[in-house]
Amino acid sequence: MKAVVYEAYGDPTVLTVSEVQKPAIQDNEVLIHVKASGINPVDTYFRKGIRQVESFPHIPHFDLAGEVVEVGNDVKNIQVGDRVWATNAKGASAEFVAVTSNLVFPLPKKLTFEDGAAIAMPYMTAYLSLFNRGQLKEGETVLIFGGAGAVGHAAIQLAKHAGAYVITTASNEDKAAIAKGAGADEVIVYTVEDLVKRVKDRTKEAGVSLILDMSFSENMERDLEMIKLGGRIITIGSPVNNTPPLMWRQLNMKHASLIGVLLFTAPLEELVSAGHFISKGFDSGVFTSHIGKVFSYEDAALAHESLEKKEYDGRIILDHTK
């Protein structure tokens, strides 16, 4: 079968399309014929060697959508021919991928395979951040950084569906319009407005109950100014500095919680519950995907380059049918 691979760490040019061995499934797995796969920022970290891969040649990516072509002997809830999506699916940029069956979720008929690949990691991350880690309650105010990004866009929709008041950020008016379209109650264009002042004014100096932060090292000081007493800060990412010094005194003064989230290490039962909730929400038309650009499978290197240059808002998708 064909797969996007790389045999050494490096820039996007290390990505090539090669012939590799088709996987054999275990009794608890299904084999998916991949129709589309999604690229996440973390995929570029692995490619560059910031995070290590197990071996070379390495097949990248974790998000996919496709059609089930084989099921293991112990699989009862999935059938050959089912349209599905999955995340935490190692080697998602291959033609066929074996995935544990309880981490495979139904793709509603109204969604394309590109949609399925687009919703995977962003919606899962947003769900875990808001509900499993953040314990968001109806009526609370949440600040979501980066409302035009993939995770932020998903988090806005999930938080609004749960009855929260949603404030989000954007760097310009075009991105603000995307965030508004997702359902945000307020969008703060932080390049022209004072984010902390605006949040404090809006909350009568009390601060917000919950913050979802995509770049913690850059925002930590502001987070601790904007969080209310007893609030929760979810550190989804910190790409600029993975080991920022902790502002311990400010954290304690706010009686606040600093909470990590990582899809790769989340408990299985949380992933299963989140996945089925997301599928049902899309099936009923409550949620929408956020695709920035679809590339041909052969153009994986160009897709990685575009992601790193932040050329598009929303998910970068590889179409495996082209």
Average pLDDT over residues 132-142: 98
Q: Residue for token digits 């290490």?
A: 265
Which domains occur in the chain, in start order? 2-111+289-319 (3.90.180.10), 122-264 (3.90.180.10)
CB contact at 8 A, 124 and 275? yes
How far apart (Å, rounded) are the C-alpha atoms in residues 29 and 222?
45
Residue 321: exposure state from Cβ atoms within 10 A (0-12, 13-18, ≥19)? exposed
Q: Which residues contact 257 (CB under 8 A, 6 or more apart)?
A: 231, 232, 233
Chain segment 54-72, per-residue pLDDT in tens: 999 999 999 999 999 999 9
Question: 217 pLDDT exceeds 90?
Answer: yes
Collapsing DSSP states into helix, strand and coil, what is residue 43? helix
CB contact at 8 A, 89 and 63? yes
Q: Please count the other Cβ atoms lying within 10 Å of the Cβ belonging to residue 216.
A: 23
Average pLDDT over residues 263-267: 95
pLDDT at 204: 94
Question: 26 pLDDT exceeds 90?
Answer: yes
For the CA atoms of 102, 45, 261, 187, what is the dihedral angle to 10 degrees?
-110
Strand 208-213 to 227-235 pairing: parallel
Chain segment 152-202, per-residue pLDDT in tens: 999 999 999 999 999 999 999 999 999 999 999 999 999 999 999 999 999
Average pLDDT over residues 200-218: 96
Q: Please count the other Cβ atoms lying within 10 Å of the Cβ belonging to residue 62.
A: 24
Strand 141-144 to 165-170 pairing: parallel
CB contact at 8 A, 14 and 303? no
Interior CA angle at 33 toward 30 and 39, to 5°?
100
High-pLDDT (> 90) share of the chain, %:
99
Q: How far from 284 is each of 10, 127, 182, 208, 257, CA to CA, in Å?
A: 42, 17, 16, 30, 34
Question: 13 pLDDT exceeds 90?
Answer: yes
Q: What is the mean pLDDT of the chain?
A: 97
pLDDT at 322: 78
The DSSP letter of residue 103 is G
